[in-house]
Amino acid sequence: MQPPKILMLEITGVSVVYESSPLFSNLSLTINTHEIVALTGASGSGKTTLLRCIAGLEPVTAGTIHLDSRDITNQRAHLRNIGMVFQDNQLFPHLTVGQNIAYSLKIRRVAKKLTDQKVREVLSLVGLSHLIDRSVTNLSGGEAKRIAVARALVAEPQVLLLDEPMTGLDTDLHSRLLHDLSKLLRARGTTVLHVTHDHAEASAIADRVLDLRQLIS
């Protein structure tokens, strides 16, 4: 008999209220180790806000968030060991590719030798080792997406949150990057919550596809 999967991320009864108006209420979700879950839903339904709550960038009004049985509901973002790739990448324009990827390790005071090693490793994983010294302002759309993913992965997060990471790409590039990203995440065994409005994209990358409305009781 197969042993049960270790529960990695558990969101229980979470509510978010803005200016006395509920964005969503009593939302619950569990994601297991190595599982890739895609979350769909209408624009403005709260998908991105949910990711930001999990990452510690937005407070929840009610409910709890546990990671590996640890209550992180009110924990600071940098202590959660959760990575996030934003829709607009949010790369630092004044830093090179290598410096962008190294940023999270630098603020954690990881030794420079180890930081350099990890940066080279993730750049190799996304196939962009030759761009380590390039300014991020000189990247193509697809390259910028890959660098944003590499920056999130370099700290080896327990959970990776993807906020519509394929937005703005043409059809061919979208298909190639989706295939490469799915292959990379599965090879690393990364636990993922992927937000998208594209149902075909969701089905292509995820083990489970959920609509935000399914999570609200």
Amino acid at 201: E
Phi and psi based region of residue 26 (left: phi greater than 0; alpha: psi -120 to 50; beta: remaining):
left
Please tell me the total count of domains within the chain: 1
Can you give the pLDDT at residue 169?
Answer: 83
Domain at 29, CATH number: 3.40.50.300
Residue found under tokens 């949150």? 161
State residue 142 phi and psi, 5-degree precision.
Answer: -65, -40
Question: What is the C-alpha to C-alpha distance for residues 110 and 112, in angstroms, rounded to an integer?
Answer: 6
| Model confidence, pTM | 0.90
Decide if 129 is inside a domain: no
Can you give the pLDDT at residue 49?
Answer: 95
Domain that includes residue 63, residue range:
1-79+195-217
Decide if 49 is inside a domain: yes
Amino acid at 167: T
Q: What is the pLDDT of residues 197-211, one digit of tens each?
A: 999 999 999 999 999
DSSP string, 61-128: SEEEEEETTEE-TTS-GGGS-EEEE-TT----TTSBHHHHHHHHHHHTT--HHHHHHHHHHHHHHTT-
Decide if 169 is inside a domain: no
Decide if 86 is inside a domain: no
